[in-house]
């Protein structure tokens, strides 16, 4: 059984399939392959030993990124069978990242109750799109890169969201792959008739085997942290301290973290993006850049210690409830027909 759905296109691109040539005659290519459970994946390769694999049926997750030195991303061995894609690769978290307290919130006088699906069964977590099939909307070769694009329309691809969220939405995500650089671009539009709150997050799992579990050094230029209680922000901000102070770098083997960091530099740097964090180990390094709207970073060390998570968010956890209390939590609101764009990029 093939879980891939295709067809919806709402952005115009040159859909060149197959192979393109670089100046050094190394060819980028895009091929489709089958994986366990009948899942179809897209493999984007630079023809020089670097490739990514993306599964549209499991949240349009880029679950693998291979370079000659090893695997950049960590994925569980059960990625295709356990139906928990949020534990692997790069989950896309929308229309809210992380948790909503008790799965409850109020918007324009209406009360909403979401499924309680976090590990504790107490809160809603990670939005609606990270575990469901997306529609492939385009693919192609552009010079020294390959790209794949897919869309998710709330009322069509997850009809239950009409009762769970204030307005219908459409999100378009493109992966642009350069071999040693991966860009994830998102376009969001309110296609409903009421104002739509939202937050977007990416949850990459970077493999410690390639980075070096004991020697890898993590830096995040955040000056403050959100005070958390039971994984939810109290609304209070505090200066980074102890293990949460990553401004000058801390070794991975010294860290056990689940921190929500903020107050990041807003200077635009490479490719008109802002540096959000680095992980370095001697001759190996990984850098995370985002567009300025990604104002928060979650740093998480999973208990299995096979990954480091450096997660850019546009808002803090439970933003829809915090904002109602007058706390600037980063919640964004789109009027009917209005759109938004954001970008995250990883370089290694």
Show me where the domains of the chain are located.
Answer: 5-209+298-315+331-347
Q: What gap in Å lies between CA 150 and CA 187, rounded to an integer?
A: 11
Stretch among 12-26, 47-61, 315-329 having the lowest mean pLDDT: 12-26
* Rounded Cα gap, residues 134 and 55, in angstroms: 9
Is the pLDDT assigned to residue 1 strictly greater than 70? no
Of all residues in the chain, the percent with pLDDT exceeding 90 is 84
Count of Cβ atoms closer than 10 Å to residue 188 Cβ:
22
The CA-atom distances, in angstroms, between 159 and each of 72, 132, 279, 306 are 35, 12, 40, 36
The top-scoring range by mean pLDDT among 5-14, 18-27, 278-287 is 278-287
- Across 249-272, average pLDDT: 89
Is residue 271 very low, low, confident or very high in pLDDT (cuts 50, 70, 90)?
confident
Would you place residue 8 in the very low, low, confident or very high pLDDT band (cuts 50, 70, 90)? very low
Burial 79-91 (b: 16+ CB within 10 A, else e): bbeeeebbbbbbb
CATH node for 5-209+298-315+331-347? 2.70.98.10
Residue 258 has what DSSP assignment? E
The pLDDT value recorded for residue 6 is: 36
Cis upstream peptide for 237 (omega within 30°): no
pLDDT at 137 over 80: yes
Average pLDDT over residues 128-157: 96
Percent of all residues in the chain with a pLDDT value above 70, rounded to a whole number: 92
Q: What is the pLDDT of residues 34-59, one digit of tens each?
A: 999 999 999 999 999 999 999 999 99
Per-residue CA distances from 37 to 41, 81, 92, 121 (Å) = 11, 7, 21, 27
**Among 110, 319, 132, 97, CA closest to 195:** 110
Residue 15: which pLDDT band, with cuts at 50, 70 and 90?
Answer: very low
Mean pLDDT of 190-198: 98
Mean pLDDT over residues 294-316, rounded? 96
Quick one: DSSP state of residue 126?
S
Instruction: Tell me what the pLDDT averaged over the chain comes to.
Output: 91
Closest of 170, 128, 137 to residue 56, by C-alpha: 137
Look at residue 154 and give its three-state secondary structure.
helix
């Amino acid at each position: 059984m093939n879980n891939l759905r295709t067809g919806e296109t709402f952005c115009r691109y040159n859909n060149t399939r197959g192979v393109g040539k670089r100046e050094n005659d190394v060819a980028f290519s895009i091929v489709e392959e089958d994986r366990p459970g009948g899942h179809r994946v897209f493999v984007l390769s630079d023809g020089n030993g670097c490739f990514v694999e993306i599964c549209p049926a499991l949240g349009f997750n880029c679950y693998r990124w291979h370079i000659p030195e090893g695997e950049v991303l960590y994925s569980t061995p059960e990625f295709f069978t356990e139906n928990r894609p949020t534990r692997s690769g790069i989950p896309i978290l929308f229309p809210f990242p992380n948790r909503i307290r008790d799965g409850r919130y109020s918007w324009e006088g209406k009360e909403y109750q979401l499924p309680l699906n976090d590990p504790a069964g107490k809160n809603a977590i990670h939005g609606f799109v990270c575990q469901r099939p997306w529609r492939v909307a385009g693919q192609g070769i552009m010079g020294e890169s390959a790209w794949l694009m897919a869309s998710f329309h709330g009322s069509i691809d997850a009809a239950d969201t009409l009762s769970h969220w204030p307005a219908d939405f459409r999100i378009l995500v493109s992966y642009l792959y350069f071999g040693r650089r991966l860009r994830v671009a998102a376009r969001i539009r309110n296609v409903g008739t009421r104002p739509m709150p939202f937050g977007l997050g990416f949850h990459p799992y970077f493999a410690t085997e390639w980075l070096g579990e004991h020697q890898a050094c993590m830096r995040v230029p955040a000056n403050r942290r959100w005070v958390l209680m039971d994984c939810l922000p109290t609304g209070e901000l505090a200066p980074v301290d102890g293990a949460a102070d990553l401004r000058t770098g801390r070794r991975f083997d010294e860290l056990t973290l689940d921190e929500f960091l903020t107050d990041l530099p807003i200077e635009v740097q490479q490719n008109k993006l802002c540096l959000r964090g680095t992980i370095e180990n001697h001759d190996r390094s990984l850098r995370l850049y985002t567009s300025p709207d990604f104002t928060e970073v979650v740093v998480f060390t999973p208990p299995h210690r096979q990954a480091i998570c450096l997660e850019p968010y546009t808002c803090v956890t439970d933003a829809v409830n915090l904002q109602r209390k007058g706390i600037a939590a980063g919640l964004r609101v789109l009027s009917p027909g209005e759109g938004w764009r954001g970008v995250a990029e990883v370089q290694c």
